[in-house]
Amino acid sequence: MNATGWKEKLSAIRDSFSISAAKIPAENPEALELRFLGRKGELALLLRDLKDIPLEERKTLGALGNTVKEEMTAILTGLKAVSGAPGPAVKTDLDLTLPGWPLPKGSLHPLTVTLNRMGECFSKLGFSIAEGPLIEEDYFNFEALNFPPFHPARDMQDTFYVDLKDASGKDLLLRTHTSPVQIRTMKNQEPPVRIISPGRVFRSEAVDASHSFVFHQIEGLYIDKGVSMADLKWTLETFMKDLFGSSAKVRFMPSYFPFVEPGAEVEVSCVFCRGKSDTVRCPVCKGTGWIELLGAGVVHPNVLKACNYDPQKWSGFAFGAGIERFAMLLYGISDMRMLYENDLRILKQVH
Ligand code: PHE
């Protein structure tokens, strides 16, 4: 090999070293060292070849070769320090094995936990979830639910009206119950129907320990062939036992809602005193042993007709329950307002 060839070879080795040293992810510095500077490394072998080159040129080439060797050694030392291999000690306080700072974790709101628990019970019974808008038309909130115009039953639900009109020129309103989702669902699908519909509802009511102008309900609707009051009773009893335990009992008291016939208030045996408040009067059931929990009944034929379901062919039941009331019973909360005040001392108790 002549001097020019040798120089070219040195430059090629230098380039290939630079490329290998700059690779991401980095190559193992020990392997690089062995490949270029080791006893049989590329640079070491080239330096050995110097012996074939005439003396006058050998000196300058040798100096050039040594400069490249020093360069490579310096770069390798740097790489070893970064990769943590033995090399000049790099001091650091960083300990990657220390645990991280604990972050305060939030938890679900008691109403959400309650709703999830209620939803789980019904999903086991084959109910799926349906939703509807909070701003509703008179038609869905009242008319199709068999509330005739000017019927006094409309006064049972003090309504917030919105300063906007629907397509038929009537004022829009904030839904007073989740029952309009019954109509929206039936108009959208063929029977059979088996849905629950949780959500926010609004009534113009003064706030106290058991009332609020905005609260939550869960609606249930089951339409199929031959569905009766007996199915309603079994479903609600199964649901209550699942939620409150197998000793929970259910009773139906006659009641009136325009969209069901017959209609009922459903009561559950008091989960606190279990009906045994003989000596001290139970503050929750007021000593009666029963707690009123929801409205229910067999879907009125007029409601089915409004949705183009043939009442001769299909029948069903519906129920509507306040979620707040269930949350208060499940978690022993005595004042509904506690559910809206975001006091962490209350919220942290429910998981
Ligand atoms: N929508 C009724 C209310 O809010 C409850 C209900 C629902 C009653 C379904 C019967 C059937 O008071």
Minimal CA–CA distance to 192: which of 306, 304, 302?
304
Q: How far is CA 212 from the centre of its chain?
A: 26
- HSE toward the beta carbon, residue 118, CA cutoff 13 A: 28
Q: Which of 253, 259, 267 to mutate to test the pocket of ligand 1 (most atoms within 8 A of CB)?
A: 259
Any atom of ligand 1 within 6 Å of the Cβ of 145: no
Task: Give the percent of the chain with pLDDT over 70.
Answer: 97
pLDDT number for residue 302: 98
- CA of 177, closest atom in ligand 1: 4
- Measured distance CA(260)–CA(126) in Å, rounded: 22
Q: What share of the chain is helix, strand, coil (3-state, %, to 5)?
A: 40, 20, 40
What DSSP element (H or E) covers 238? helix 229-244
Would you list the domain boundaries of the chain? 3-83, 110-347
- Measured distance CA(291)–CA(296) in Å, rounded: 15
pLDDT number for residue 102: 77
Query: For residues 321 and 177, is the Cβ–Cβ distance under 8 A?
Result: no
Any atom of ligand 1 within 6 Å of the Cβ of 318: yes
Any atom of ligand 1 within 6 Å of the Cβ of 296: yes
Any atom of ligand 1 within 6 Å of the Cβ of 264: no
pLDDT number for residue 243: 95
Q: What is the pLDDT of residues 46-55, one digit of tens each?
A: 999 998 888 8
| Residue 86 predicted with pLDDT over 60 | no
Task: Give the percent of the chain with pLDDT over 90.
Answer: 63
Residue 307 DSSP class: T
- What is the DSSP secondary-structure string of 103-123? PPP----HHHHHHHHHHHHHH
179 CA from centroid of ligand 1 (Å): 6
- Measured distance CA(227)–CA(168) in Å, rounded: 34
pLDDT number for residue 100: 80
257 CA from centroid of ligand 1 (Å): 7
- CA of 156, closest atom in ligand 1: 12
Alpha carbon distances (Å) from 210 to 150, 325, 328: 28, 8, 10
- Give the closest residue (by CA) to ligand 1 atom 10: 296
pLDDT number for residue 279: 67
State both tokens at 295.
């409205």
Q: What is the pLDDT of residues 91-143, one digit of tens each?
A: 667 778 888 877 878 889 999 999 999 999 999 999 999 999 999 999 999 99
Quick one: pLDDT band at residue 165, thresholds 50, 70, 90?
A: very high
Any atom of ligand 1 within 6 Å of the Cβ of 179: yes
pLDDT number for residue 150: 84
321 CA from centroid of ligand 1 (Å): 7
Phi, psi of 239 (to 5 degrees): -60, -45
Quick one: pLDDT band at residue 285, thresholds 50, 70, 90?
A: confident
How many helices, marked H, and strands, marked E, lie in the chain? 11, 10
| Residue 79 predicted with pLDDT over 70 | yes
Q: What is the pLDDT of residues 15-47, one digit of tens each?
A: 898 888 887 777 788 899 999 999 999 999 999
Quick one: pLDDT band at residue 351, thresholds 50, 70, 90?
A: confident
315 CA from centroid of ligand 1 (Å): 17
pLDDT number for residue 287: 85
pLDDT number for residue 278: 66
| Residue 82 predicted with pLDDT over 80 | no
Any atom of ligand 1 within 6 Å of the Cβ of 177: yes
CA angle 13, 19, 23 (to 5 degrees): 145
Rounded to an integer, the average pLDDT of 317-332 is 95
State both tokens at 97.
């094995």
Other CB atoms within 10 Å distance of the CB of residue 173:
23
pLDDT number for residue 91: 62
| Average pLDDT in the chain | 91
Any atom of ligand 1 within 6 Å of the Cβ of 196: no
Quick one: pLDDT band at residue 13, thresholds 50, 70, 90?
A: very high
- Give the closest residue (by CA) to ligand 1 atom 2: 320
111 CA from centroid of ligand 1 (Å): 19
Q: Which of 257, 265, 293 to mutate to test the pocket of ligand 1 (most atoms within 8 A of CB)?
A: 257
Q: Which of 177, 232, 294, 302 to mutate to test the pocket of ligand 1 (most atoms within 8 A of CB)?
A: 177
State both tokens at 277.
């408040």
Of 77-86, 157-166, 171-180, 327-336, the range with the highest mean pLDDT is 171-180
- Measured distance CA(290)–CA(286) in Å, rounded: 9
Rounded to an integer, the average pLDDT of 151-165 is 86
Any atom of ligand 1 within 6 Å of the Cβ of 320: yes
State both tokens at 230.
């007996």
Any atom of ligand 1 within 6 Å of the Cβ of 269: no
pLDDT number for residue 153: 76
Q: How far is CA 183 from the centre of its chain?
A: 27
The answer for residues whose C-beta is within 8 angstroms of residue 204's C-beta and 6 or more apart is 158, 159, 160, 213
Quick one: pLDDT band at residue 84, thresholds 50, 70, 90?
A: low
Classify domain 110-347 at the CATH topology level: BirA Bifunctional Protein; domain 2 (3.30.930)
- What is the DSSP secondary-structure string of 2-13? -HHHHHHHHHHH
Phi, psi of 6 (to 5 degrees): -60, -45
- Measured distance CA(127)–CA(220) in Å, rounded: 8
- Give the closest residue (by CA) to ligand 1 atom 7: 320
State both tokens at 21.
């040293």
Phi, psi of 14 (to 5 degrees): -65, -45
334 CA from centroid of ligand 1 (Å): 23
Any atom of ligand 1 within 6 Å of the Cβ of 260: yes
CA dihedral sign of residues 25, 28, 33, 35: negative
- Give the closest residue (by CA) to ligand 1 atom 9: 319
